[in-house]
Amino acid sequence: MDNFGHFDDTSREYVITRPDTPWPWINYMGTEDFFSLISNTAGGYCFYKDAKFRRILRYRYNGVPMDDGGRYYYIKDGSTVWSPGWKPCKTPLDSYECRHGMGYTRITGVKDGLKADVLFFVPIGHPCEVHRVRLTNAGPAPKHIQLYSFAEWCLWNASTDMENFQRNLSTGEVEVEGDVLYHKTEYRERRNHYAFFGVNRPFDGFDTDRETFIGLYNGFDAPQQVLAGTSGNSVAHGWSPVASHRLDVTLKPGEEKEFIFVLGYVENPADKKFVAPGVINKEPALGMMDAFASVAQVEAAFAELKTYWDGLLSRFCVQSSVPELDRTVNIWNQYQCMITFFFSRSASFFESGIGRGMGFRDSNQDLAGIVHLIPERARQRILDIAATQFPDGGCYHQYQPLTKRGNNDIGGGFNDDPLWLIFGTVAYIRETGDFGILQEPVPFDNKPGSEVSLLEHLKISFKHVTDNLGPHGLPLIGRADWNDCMNLNCFSDNPDESFQTTENKTEGSKAESLMIAGLFVAEGRDFAELLERISDKTAADVKAAVADMESAVKAHGWDGEWFLRAYDYFGNKIGSHECKEGKIFIESQGWCTMARIGAEEGLCDKALDSANKYLECEHGLVLNNPAYTKYYIDYGEISSYPEGYKENAGIFCHNNPWVIIGEAMAGRAEDAWRHYQKITPAFTKDQALRKVEPYVFCQMVAGKDAVKPGEGKNSWLTGTAAWTWKAVSEALLGIKPQFDGLLVEPCIPIGTYRIHRRFREAEYELVIHQTGKGGKVFIPYKPGKQELEINL
């Protein structure tokens, strides 16, 4: 079995040891407004705030060859042309290494005695990428080489950049001044922003016109200027503007030289746009160039970035006997939670940055992974999300990060959406104790003057469910619930319409969801507790509605061995032994067992047993079983997927933690731990089969009905990050934040372990011994340090 890399836990890095990974293995850079995606061969792009509207580098998804386009360095050493990251030249390297770390990537290539070590990172406080290129001549003879940089500009809107060529091919504009190449397309009219790529020493040549640099019929692998060792000194007018510097470098044997490149973004105030007609104000760009003019400055900025991540990742640490668990909990899961929080589902190597902005339900769930790390940002996010809600409790399914305005681009009317606002807010208040957020005024649909308190938003979220009950007293599903592809009111027979946005037939619909029912019970209980804490009288009504829902689930949602999944438009059962296909689904087993519905009667244990019997396979729990083998017009998108993929019986990792938590709540430690190990990438044995990064969760792993079970897809941006975090930190390791303290209630078969937990102004050092007697310990919140040894 081939391995493509390994973990370096001390440095918090994943080390890739060969460039031809089974899929580009990427990393993210940026913590504020400027973000980058970078693959292990330096492919990818960057953008400012919004991957659609402020795209800085052009990128072509799913290209041939895969992952072409990025920020590239070329070295011409005699007749050999190579790149430190192997691509795009693909000249065989004498050695290669890529280290993906916390917010940075470092790629080192060695060829013919020349070592090129390129550190890429996005510094804190500056909207730019910094590239430190360190060249070392390890050979016995002097080297005279040419070093080229290269980046291709996107004309800002990543969507029109790919489709509106009658306009695009005429709009490109650049300026060249000093050591900096500026991209200023459309700056003249409505825009106030430009990008730049500069280097900290005078260059020996440059190009800004793609055709001049690469040649019309060459590829990124063989730019004609690089092959010739020249530069065209071209100034782009229209067509495709790029940025390339050429540095002629001489290195004595043993000599090392460092060059600093800065690729940045600038917005100018309206009155400071130009210094002369048509000439951009370059002051902010030059300021950034100055900030990274010396190696010492770069090192300081890099150290600052490290300190930032060290600080975050010192808030929750586990020390156990299982290295895979420790590295997942202490490093990669928390890192992925941060990345997913930043990007929601917008930009990965599977998400193009164009289609989806910030999801209402997605972003609320993502909060659970970061409230303990960046509570202030969680707070703002909750208020932003709530502001996209409608007065009846419904909401836009997504909003655009740049404008924070909701839109219907991926549909609306998903009846689970409102409840996630309660989920996110409860997670935030339990972590922070900030009940004050409930009194923040928040508008509806961002309309000034419509503000009510966040608490009112939560109340109408809850009410949205009770206002929309179906014939069995269960929640109507609307367009869909958490499973976007369970489209019970859609009846689409036109392949040209989207399941997400096409007109729904909700009038007269009997389509009800057991997943929403479980979510309502679980979140309703938390909500009632929250209301009681603030002495709000409506707590009793909430409790009564929860009790009614429990009764409805027991009366109409139990199939004998497991929980039903739904009722369809006509009131027929889905996820029942009576069905031909799709007899059992994971979502309702997860949510109803997390809500402990019918636990006393043994329903939860039975449902979990059934999940293990019918849904579990080698790589995790599949979403449904048996898979749908044909398209069902009454069910929609779910049955449009081939068997074993995506929502049709794929291992949709996001929902596996629901079962893990359900198992833990039922005290079934072995089952919970087994499910956790199966979906956690650090335990992956076969990296080539998994295909996607072995250091982050992916949305979906092909299920047992697939042609290639075990193959992963859609890595990085997935609710799996926050949910596995919740599962491992709270359900398995048992550290559960409460409104007034921490509850310690582990359920993991690993004996003794230590936890360091920062909780508000408290630091807890816990040694937990699981002696087999079980139970829980409540630690009331008290600022300061506390060391505790707990035997359970």
CB 479, min distance to ligand NOJ, A: 12
- Interface map 354-373 toward ligand NOJ (x if CB under 6 A): -----x-xx-----------
Nearer to ligand BGC, 485 or 728 (CB): 485
- Give the rounded distance of the alpha carbon of 69 from its chain centre: 22
Residues 313-352 that bind ligand NOJ (CB under 6 A): 345
Token pair for residue 779? 């630690």
**Does residue 483 touch ligand NOJ according to CB under 6 A?**
yes
Whole-number Å distance between alpha carbons of 697 and 692: 9
State the residue for tokens 């902010």. Answer: 284
Query: Could you say which of ligand BGC, ligand NOJ, none residue 359 binds, taking C-beta under 5 to 8 angstroms by partner kind?
Result: ligand NOJ
- Characterize the bridge pairing of strands 26-29 and 13-16: unpaired
CB 377, min distance to ligand BGC, A: 24
Whole-number Å distance between alpha carbons of 47 and 56: 5
Residue type, 35: F
Whole-number Å distance between alpha carbons of 241 and 208: 5
Query: For the residues of 597-618, what is the DSSP string, one character each?
Result: TTTTTTHHHHHHHHIIIIIEET
Query: Could you say which of ligand BGC, ligand NOJ, none residue 500 binds, taking C-beta under 5 to 8 angstroms by partner kind?
Result: ligand BGC
Residue nearest to ligand NOJ (CB): 484
Query: Could you say which of ligand BGC, ligand NOJ, none residue 587 binds, taking C-beta under 5 to 8 angstroms by partner kind?
Result: none
Query: Could you say which of ligand BGC, ligand NOJ, none residue 137 binds, taking C-beta under 5 to 8 angstroms by partner kind?
Result: none
Query: Could you say which of ligand BGC, ligand NOJ, none residue 759 binds, taking C-beta under 5 to 8 angstroms by partner kind?
Result: none
Query: Could you say which of ligand BGC, ligand NOJ, none residue 410 binds, taking C-beta under 5 to 8 angstroms by partner kind?
Result: ligand BGC
User: Among residues 38, 298, 485, 627, which is the contact residue for ligand NOJ, using CB under 6 A?
Assistant: 485
Are the beta carbons of 658 and 590 closer than 8 angstroms?
yes
Are the beta carbons of 576 and 559 closer than 8 angstroms?
yes
Are the beta carbons of 625 and 638 closer than 8 angstroms?
no
Look at residues 57, 106, 66 and name the one whose alpha carbon lies nearest to residue 88.
66
Nearer to ligand NOJ, 146 or 714 (CB): 714
Residue nearest to ligand BGC (CB): 484
Whole-number Å distance between alpha carbons of 580 and 557: 18
Nearer to ligand BGC, 31 or 500 (CB): 500
**Does residue 627 touch ligand BGC according to CB under 6 A?**
no
State the residue for tokens 């042609």. Answer: 707
Partners of 145 in the β-ladder: 77, 249
User: Among residues 152, 209, 417, 484, which is the contact residue for ligand NOJ, using CB under 6 A?
Assistant: 484
Are the beta carbons of 570 and 563 closer than 8 angstroms?
no
Look at residues 34, 31, 403 and name the one whose alpha carbon lies nearest to residue 196.
34
Nearer to ligand NOJ, 24 or 411 (CB): 411
Query: Could you say which of ligand NOJ, ligand BGC, none residue 12 binds, taking C-beta under 5 to 8 angstroms by partner kind?
Result: none
Nearer to ligand NOJ, 331 or 370 (CB): 370
CB 639, min distance to ligand NOJ, A: 14
Whole-number Å distance between alpha carbons of 489 and 412: 13
Nearer to ligand BGC, 27 or 500 (CB): 500
CB 700, min distance to ligand BGC, A: 8
Residues 392-411 that bind ligand BGC (CB under 6 A): 410
Partners of 2 in the β-ladder: none
User: Among residues 200, 231, 400, 500, which is the contact residue for ligand BGC, using CB under 6 A?
Assistant: 500
Contacts of 89 (CB under 8 A, 6+ apart): 74, 81, 82, 83, 221, 222
Nearer to ligand BGC, 362 or 745 (CB): 362
Nearer to ligand BGC, 410 or 722 (CB): 410
**Could you tell me how many residues of this chain bind ligand NOJ (CB under 6 A)?**
9
> Which residues are designated catalytic?
484
CB 412, min distance to ligand NOJ, A: 13
- Interface map 353-382 toward ligand BGC (x if CB under 6 A): ---x--------------------------
User: Among residues 482, 628, 658, 723, which is the contact residue for ligand NOJ, using CB under 6 A?
Assistant: 482
Query: Could you say which of ligand NOJ, ligand BGC, none residue 200 binds, taking C-beta under 5 to 8 angstroms by partner kind?
Result: none
CB 410, min distance to ligand BGC, A: 5
Give the angle 547-465-483 at the CA atoms, nearest 5°.
105
Residues 289-348 that bind ligand BGC (CB under 6 A): none
Are the beta carbons of 675 and 660 closer than 8 angstroms?
yes
- Residue 742: phi and psi, rounded to 5, are -115, 135
State the residue for tokens 């909060």. Answer: 367
Query: For the residues of 510-560, what is the DSSP string, one character each?
Result: --EEHHHHHHHHHHHHHHHHHHHHTT-TTHHHHHHHHHHHHHHHHHHSB-S
CB 366, min distance to ligand NOJ, A: 10
Query: Could you say which of ligand BGC, ligand NOJ, none residue 643 binds, taking C-beta under 5 to 8 angstroms by partner kind?
Result: none
Whole-number Å distance between alpha carbons of 597 and 584: 17
- Residue 2: phi and psi, rounded to 5, are -75, 140
Query: Could you say which of ligand BGC, ligand NOJ, none residue 526 binds, taking C-beta under 5 to 8 angstroms by partner kind?
Result: none
**Does residue 647 touch ligand BGC according to CB under 6 A?**
yes
Please give the C-alpha separations between residue 256 and each of 86, 139, 250, 546, in angstroms, as whole numbers: 21, 12, 10, 68
- Characterize the bridge pairing of strands 712-715 and 698-701: antiparallel
Nearer to ligand BGC, 407 or 466 (CB): 407
Are the beta carbons of 36 and 11 closer than 8 angstroms?
no
Residues 646-705 that bind ligand NOJ (CB under 6 A): 647
**Could you tell me how many residues of this chain bind ligand BGC (CB under 6 A)?**
8
User: Among residues 173, 484, 512, 730, which is the contact residue for ligand BGC, using CB under 6 A?
Assistant: 484
Nearer to ligand BGC, 71 or 646 (CB): 646
State the residue for tokens 């210094």. Answer: 275
Look at residues 735, 748, 728 and name the one whose alpha carbon lies nearest to residue 776.
735
Stretch that binds ligand NOJ, among 45-53, 222-230, 482-490, 759-767 (CB under 6 A): 482-490
Residue type, 104: Y
Whole-number Å distance between alpha carbons of 206 and 204: 7
Nearer to ligand NOJ, 359 or 712 (CB): 359
Partners of 243 in the β-ladder: 151
CB 356, min distance to ligand BGC, A: 6
Give the angle 668-674-675 at the CA atoms, nearest 5°.
90
Residues at the interface with ligand NOJ (CB under 6 A) = 345, 359, 361-362, 482-485, 647
List residues near ligand BGC by CB under 6 A: 356, 410, 484-485, 500, 637, 646-647
